Amino acid sequence: QKEVEQNSGPLSVPEGAIASLNCTYSDRVSQSFFWYRQYSGKSPELIMSIYSNGDKEDGRFTAQLNKASQYVSLLIRDSQPSDSATYLCAVTSFSGGYNKLIFGAGTRLAVHP
Amino acid sequence: DAGVIQSPRHEVTEMGQEVTLRCKPISGHDYLFWYRQTMMRGLELLIYFNNNVPIDDSGMPEDRFSAKMPNASFSTLKIQPSEPRDSAVYFCASSPDRAFSGYTFGSGTRLTVV
């Protein structure tokens, strides 16, 4: 079983719509959750972090966390063509006495004009 | 700060050759990570260091891969001998703490083994 699972997509949404990206994780004791955006040919860049249950908003982005369901999501409001990228969910995993960051395979988002 | 610096950006080598990838983490970041990214397997953690000490190398695919961090500002990932299936983008990342709140990736090295 993969530790962090995401739908690979592509998720296609029209410009101006809300894009909803989902992620589930297997480690019940995970404490920190991140969303990274990766443009084609570029490195991942951090766009959101969330540590407690509920919603966290930053501009057009909202991260949602439900630890009981082991589920984290990212909403992008007023989607723009420039948001077209692969979105990676990352979750901390504690094993062997150390924390490490585990990434999902990513969801490709395509925003069309 | 210049961010995490990786070199080279691109590397093309023949099967059987030794390949060395280099990384300079952000100053003050105590954690350094090497990842490999492919279409098939996504972003895989290969190894990570804390204060220059290897902590978890369970992701290193086989003995052909080795990584070192001789000081706080430099790390290498070596593949010897290289094989075509090693072709991927290799990322280095660094973090100031174990919460990974400031986790930053380098630009990556695109390795092609022919």
Report yes or no: B100 at the A interface, CB cutoff 8 Å. yes
Helix (H, G, I), strand (E, B) or coil at A81: helix
- Cβ neighbours of B42 (radius 10 Å): 19
Q: What is the pLDDT of residue B1?
A: 63
Q: Nearest Cα to A91, choosing from A22, A30, A23?
A: A30
Q: Kindly list the residues from chain A whose CB atom is less than 8 angstroms away from the CB atom of residue B99.
A: 31-32, 92, 99
Q: What is the pLDDT of residue A93?
A: 85
Among the partner-chain residues A43, A101, A102, the one whose CB lies closest to the CB of B107 is A43
Tokens of B99: 């919460």
Which amino acid would we find at residue A88? L
Among the partner-chain residues A99, A102, A103, the one whose CB lies closest to the CB of B98 is A99
Q: Calculate the dihedral angle through the C-alpha atoms of B88, A86, A81, A54, rounding to the nearest 10 degrees.
A: -160
> Residue A2: pLDDT band by 50, 70, 90 thresholds?
low
> Residue B97: pLDDT band by 50, 70, 90 thresholds?
confident
Report yes or no: A7 at the B interface, CB cutoff 8 Å. no
Q: What is the pLDDT of residue B100?
A: 77
**Residue A88, H or E segment:** strand A85-95
- Which tens digits make up the pLDDT trace of B63-87? 999 999 999 999 999 999 999 999 9
